Amino acid sequence: MDRALHARLETRFGELLLGPVRQRHDETEMRIGPGSVPEVLRALHDEPGLRFELLADLCGVDTGTDLQAVYHLWSETTGDWLRVVADGLPREAPRVPSITFLWKGAEWLEREAYDMFGIVFEGNRDLRRIYMPDDYTSFPLRKDFHLPDDASRSPGGGVRPMEQVGRPADATDETARRRSNAS
Amino acid sequence: MTTPTRPSLDDPNLTIPVDHAGIFEPIPMARTERQQEFYTLRDGEMLLNLGPQHPATHGVLRIVLKINGEQVVDLDPVIGYLHRGVEKLCENADYHQAICYTDPLEYIASLFCEWSPVMAFEKLLDVEVPRRAEYIRVLAGELNRIASHALYVGFFALDLGGITPILWAYLERDEIVEMLAALTGAKLLFNYFRIGGVNGDLSHDFMSRVGDWMSRAGRQVEAGTALLNENEILVRRARGIGVLDRETALRMAVTGPNLRASGIPWDVRRAHPYSVYPELEFDIPTRREGDSLARYLLRVDEVKQSLRIIDQCLHRLPDGPVMAKLPRLVRPRPGRAFAAIEGPRGMYATYAISDGTDQPFRMRIHDPSFIHLQLLGLLTPGNLIADTMAINASLDPVMGGVDK
């Protein structure tokens, strides 16, 4: 955990942050609104005390209520991974500015997030499906996209029956909830 | 009613529609700015389809090439033929099951594909891995890295027209694979790492094989690469082809040997140390040229460093358990974890979110092959069609990892 980075981020991005900067293990996490993505990432990339030059990952996340675009960055100025979460993208029209102006390599990562979650990255000049065929209409990694069989959804699925005897008491409720979700 | 007859080329009245002349698939409707640019053909340009079933594409990869004569003007990789939805499958399996779904991602470096999810889950659970297990992981991982690089060297030469190196590489790899089979019980998809350790301690069979192999591995690397390093055909076709410079490499989010061949000494093992790598002595080889040849030579240097690491692991192996004490069904507290490791192709990373149940709520797998295949469209234009596959081979994408 890099306490100094925590302080630097809080002072630099104070009003742009949604909630406090969080740290756990070797990760620092900051939450921002989707609109401030280009501004914040450009500052993180360029400013001398930050210099997060390496884009480690870009992905989408479905929290169940809304969507997120999550960026992981690396810098030689800190020993932590930095996670920037663009939070609160509405399910119906998730839009977030593209970061291809900083990392051209994000183009395919954004295409993947678009393909899997339907997040529209404004400014990406090649935003089309990458894994699924062009005429596909669903977004498979969203939580409301269920797999056709729910065999894998049972708690302890794959655990041998003998070992299921000692499973937690709440397992049956959970099964019922998951089954009803699946159907 | 008349039966329709097939048009015959002997028919003097036959006319071939101009927009289909030479192209048997209609040009798709442009949806994006980039597609519009790609499918606008200037004078003398034509489209050529390569793959998906082509022996030089390292899996099921289709590339639409825009060519002018023998020169590639632009290209558009079409992927997804191997897409299995591993992330979705993992989200519908429990934490232990999810690990075996990640094995087939990069089937020639399976241990690395397991390593990053296992590390992410350990972070979620706050588990401390026993030191002996960490050493075994590094030992097995470096062996797997050498096996993967051996195949790289073989396939790189094969794509440039040499048959012998791939046969030698398979011989070399087979020895390592047999060793790992003695350790893990499988030759390809090991499924060996567990949350909190590894599945089973070192066996006598494995140790005697490693010791035997280590006594001659260095010489074998020299012998195998001497065939290529001084081969004029290989050197001339690889030098100065597909040059990737420092700034572009960073802008393209490249990691691993491809980044180090462009002169940036960035290696997760040193940049963000994990496991027992801080205790081990090894160098990060770098090269400045950034061309296909540099990428090949760099991997050969890496094999030598891996041999050093294996040697140290064998000498320093501590005693103790190989698994932390954990319940069969794990339920981490709600939280998020990101873990990255350095594999033979670059940074493999996993971002896992727990919601308190026994299944990961979201499991994101970052694979370096995906990023490196994207580079192909940047490095190839201006080169000859035959060099497309040579550049692709030098970047070393594995389609199982690209398509997830």
**CB within 8 Å of chain A, chain B residues 265-284:** 266, 271-272
pLDDT at A167: 40
Averaged pLDDT for residues B375-395: 88
Stated as kind and residue range, the H or E segment containing B114 is: helix B110-125
What tokens were used for B331? 């339920």
pLDDT of B8 over the 80 cut: no
Q: What are phi and psi of B211, to 5 degrees?
A: -60, -45
User: 3-state SS of chain B: helix, strand, coil percent to 5?
Assistant: 50, 10, 40
pLDDT at A58: 93
Averaged pLDDT for residues B136-162: 90
pLDDT at B306: 93
- Range from A153-157, B6-10, B244-248 carrying the lowest mean pLDDT: A153-157
The answer to the question of residue B153 being in a domain is yes
Q: Could you give the maximum distance between any two Cα atoms of chain A, in Å?
A: 59
The answer to the question of residue B331 being in a domain is no
Distance CA B141, CA B29 (A): 46
SS3 A120: strand
| Mutation target among B76, B94, B247, B269 for the A interface, most CBs of A within 10 A | B94
Q: pLDDT tier at B94 (50, 70, 90 boundaries)?
A: confident
The answer to whether residues B127 and B324 touch, using CB atoms and an 8 Å cutoff, is: yes
**B275: CB partners within 8 A, 6+ apart:** B134, B137, B138, B341
- Supply the range of the domain harboring residue B180: 86-322+352-403
Q: pLDDT tier at B340 (50, 70, 90 boundaries)?
A: very high
ipTM of the modeled complex:
0.86
Contact A56 B347 (CB under 8 A): yes
The answer to the question of residue B257 being in a domain is yes
Averaged pLDDT for residues B365-369: 92
Query: Which domains does chain A possess?
Result: 3-122 (3.30.460.80), 151-182 (no CATH)
Residue of B nearest to A142 (CA): B88
Smallest Cα distance from A130 to chain B, Å: 7
Distance CA B259, CA B244 (A): 9
Smallest Cα distance from A55 to chain B, Å: 6
- Range from B52-61, B199-208, B256-265, B334-343 carrying the lowest mean pLDDT: B52-61
Distance CA A153, CA A163 (A): 17
The CATH number linked to B148 is 1.10.645.10
- Which of B328, B351, B403 has the CB atom closest to A72's CB atom? B351
**Helices B292-316 + B385-395 axis angle, to 10:** 20
Nearest to B314 by CA among B202, B193, B160, B179: B202
pLDDT at A41: 93
The answer to the question of residue B11 being in a domain is no
Q: What are phi and psi of A76, to 5 degrees?
A: -80, -5
pLDDT at A144: 80
The answer to whether residues A167 and B329 touch, using CB atoms and an 8 Å cutoff, is: yes
pLDDT of B5 over the 90 cut: no
pLDDT of B139 over the 90 cut: yes
**B323: CB partners within 8 A, 6+ apart:** B130, B133, B194, B196, B197, B198
- Range from A58-62, B8-12, B211-215 carrying the lowest mean pLDDT: B8-12
User: Can you list the residues of chain A whose pLDDT is less than 50?
Assistant: 149-154, 156-172, 175-176, 179, 182-183
Contact A103 B83 (CB under 8 A): no
pLDDT of B143 over the 90 cut: yes
The answer to whether residues B133 and B323 touch, using CB atoms and an 8 Å cutoff, is: yes
Smallest Cα distance from B122 to chain A, Å: 11
E strands in B101-201:
193-194, 197-198
pLDDT at A132: 86
pLDDT at B9: 64
Distance CA A49, CA A75 (A): 10
The residue whose two tokens read 């740290």 is: A23
B274-290 tens-digit pLDDT:
989 999 999 999 998 88
The answer to the question of residue B335 being in a domain is no
Averaged pLDDT for residues B387-396: 88
**B387: CB partners within 8 A, 6+ apart:** B72, B237, B241, B242, B380
Provide the 10 A C-beta neighbour count for residue B397: 28
The answer to the question of residue B368 being in a domain is yes
The answer to whether residues B197 and B133 touch, using CB atoms and an 8 Å cutoff, is: yes
Residues of chain A in contact with residue B79, where contact means CB-CB under 8 angstroms, are: 130-131
pLDDT at B307: 92
**CB within 8 Å of chain B, chain A residues 34-73:** 53-57, 59, 61-62, 70, 72
pLDDT at A173: 52
Averaged pLDDT for residues B101-107: 89
Ordered DSSP codes for A153-179: GSTTTTS-GGGGTT--TTHHHHHHHHH
Distance CA B79, CA B351 (A): 23
**Residue A156, class by beta-carbon neighbours within 10 Å (0-12 exposed, 13-18 middle, 19+ buried)?**
middle
pLDDT at A78: 87
Residues of chain A in contact with residue B358, where contact means CB-CB under 8 angstroms, are: 155-156
Distance CA B268, CA B255 (A): 9
Ordered DSSP codes for B342-375: E-SSSEEEEEEEE-SSSS-SEEEEE-HHHHHHHH
- Which of A81, A104, A157 has the CB atom closest to B251's CB atom? A104
What tokens were used for B48? 């050529």
The residue whose two tokens read 């756990």 is: A24
| CB-based contact, B254 to chain A, within 8 Å | yes
| CB-based contact, B237 to chain A, within 8 Å | no
The answer to the question of residue B72 being in a domain is no
What tokens were used for B128? 């401390």
Cis check for the bond before B52: say yes or no (omega within 30 of 0). yes
Cα Rg for chain A, rounded, in angstroms?
20
Contact A125 B34 (CB under 8 A): yes
Distance CA B197, CA B178 (A): 22
The answer to the question of residue B327 being in a domain is no
* Number of compact structural domains in chain B: 1
pLDDT at B7: 64
Distance CA A118, CA A177 (A): 26
Q: What are phi and psi of A145, to 5 degrees?
A: -100, 110
DSSP state of B192: -
The answer to whether residues B388 and B72 touch, using CB atoms and an 8 Å cutoff, is: yes
Instruction: Go through B315-341 and write b for each residue having 16 or more CB atoms within 10 A of its CB, e for each that does not.
Output: eeeeeeebbbebeebbbbeebbbbbbb
Residue of B nearest to A167 (CA): B329
Averaged pLDDT for residues B292-309: 91
Residue of A nearest to B86 (CA): A141
**CB within 8 Å of chain B, chain A residues 98-127:** 102-109, 112, 116, 125-127
Amino acid identity of residue B358, one-letter, is D
Residue B145: alpha-carbon gap to chain centroid: 11
**Helices B204-229 + B164-184 axis angle, to 10:** 160
